[in-house]
Structure 1
């Protein structure tokens, strides 16, 4: 597998995993991901975990940091297909639903041939809440995270610069799952990653995260929580077992234990994500203060 040079290095990921507060940060991040998933029923039905997480970020990138023509239906279709997020038809349908839901709006264009779209305050507020949750989780890992949190809560220029930085790196090839390839099949399916998060969160709060001890499993509860079928949950669990990420046990297979490989895979993914967010937030702060120009320099951590 080819790994982008922009992806945080194995040494940087390993160093962050050794941080004494890393387990606590992972738990907070996973709790936020599960909570946010449960509020996005429309996107959940239309897109996989991976596409849902990235679709609106790509839209923000085109609006704030992309090249001409900006955020148009055509530009969004082209970029989604280029990045492998979704088909042109699915992209157009989702953009229409986002407009109907008040997340995107038409905006005047200097060129009448181009029908520009723009994010509404409703969409920007949703992202600020998501980003703030992650920055809060990162506070004990990165001294600058308090500055990220303050900026995303109060400075519209930071929101624009941060969205552009996230998009630039992703379009240039950075992939969080480069350091956790075993999770790729789960990221391509509805609720795949958040179901694994939910299982990990089933452990006691004072246990390490992800837990090494068995946790209780209820397929019915997972299906209901994430609005998917029992068959879908069962299929995800089988795939996770096949990849040696977890082991089912108990008289009725009602317990799950994350294997060492499973725990390490979740750690790899979340460490990579934290470093990615920190890189982009540092760039955004620099752009806002004039101390740095937005670029891809220094994007490789470690």
Structure 2
């Protein structure tokens, strides 16, 4: 699905009922969170922190930045944490599930796995079944995800202190993480996608570096200072022409505004109110999902 096509994704009534049955009370929890007077500040700080975490980091910006690669990495982790007698992580199984969930094509799974192996994020593992070529997630990939989850959980602690602080406390526990990751994947396995709830992010989520650009614009919005196309490209290790394409698509949707004259800095971009609204809704979604995942993780390790 192209970025332009994905922007038209909508959720129908039957999908809404199925999702609400899967995640009871989540929509109400998001609404309560967004009603907090301090939530716009919390959401912006979360976006700034995430954007800064990716800035200049090759592994994050090139391997783990768009929706497909994030979802695929979660699938890898979920298979990795399975019991020893379970099928575990294999290339064939990962391709089959990625295609079934409409995350990406088999070819893209193969390319991403090859890159992950090159950078030491996954590695082959011995298996009693000689016909199966099992893989394991390395500590390097786990560390990258733990650091990102810490960033989000620190923001969560500002609005749901118990879940945020307990999640941070147990983030090194493999049993906690196994249930935590499985809970994060559960809505995707049921067919849900973020654009169902926040359609505007489809203009960014399926583009390489798109969400990083959205977060950066959202974070600097109150300053009134445009971010230059060149600055965004350098920060997130993507081409200038690619940034122009994302910005053009978002501008047509009324999410950003181009500023053509910035002197020596070149063309720039300003967020529009529609982008602010969409990112606040998206951050609330992410934080509530993290809270749900923390509760599942705590239940799995017997912490009341």
Deviation sequence 1:6-63 (CA, Å, 0-9, x none)? 4675433222112233233323321332234336535644676111222211101122
The count of residues paired between Structure 1 and Structure 2 equals 282
Residue in structure 2 matched with residue 223 of structure 1 by the alignment: 233
Aligned CA distance change for structure 1 residues 93 and 241 (closer, same or farther; 3 Å): closer
Uncovered stretches (5+) of structure 1, i.e. residues with no partner: 204-210, 292-302
TM-score w.r.t. the length of structure 1 is: 0.83
Residue in structure 2 matched with residue 41 of structure 1 by the alignment: 58
Residue in structure 2 matched with residue 50 of structure 1 by the alignment: 67
Residue in structure 1 matched with residue 113 of structure 2 by the alignment: 95
Task: Compute the displacement of 1:254 (Å).
Answer: 5.1
Q: Where is the helix percentage greater, Structure 1 or Structure 2? A: 2
Residue in structure 2 matched with residue 150 of structure 1 by the alignment: 169
Contact 2:122 / 2:137 at 8 angstroms: preserved in 1? Answer: yes
Of the candidates 127, 132, 138, which is equivalent to residue 114 of structure 1?
132
Aligned CA distance change for structure 1 residues 148 and 42 (closer, same or farther; 3 Å): closer
Contact 1:44 / 1:52 at 8 angstroms: preserved in 2? Answer: no
Task: Compute the displacement of 1:104 (Å).
Answer: 1.2
Contact 1:65 / 1:168 at 8 angstroms: preserved in 2? Answer: no
Deviation sequence 1:143-173 (CA, Å, 0-9, x none)? 3211111111x42321222122222332223
- The RMSD of aligned alpha carbons is 2.6
Contact 1:37 / 1:44 at 8 angstroms: preserved in 2? Answer: yes
- In structure 1, what is the Cα distance between the partners aligned to 2:227 and 2:110? 38
Structure 2 counterpart SS, 1:289: coil
Structure 1 counterpart SS, 2:89: coil
Task: Compute the displacement of 1:65 (Å).
Answer: 4.6
Residue in structure 1 matched with residue 43 of structure 2 by the alignment: 26
Uncovered stretches (5+) of structure 2, i.e. residues with no partner: 1-9
Residue in structure 2 matched with residue 208 of structure 1 by the alignment: none
- In structure 1, what is the Cα distance between the partners aligned to 2:173 and 2:244? 44
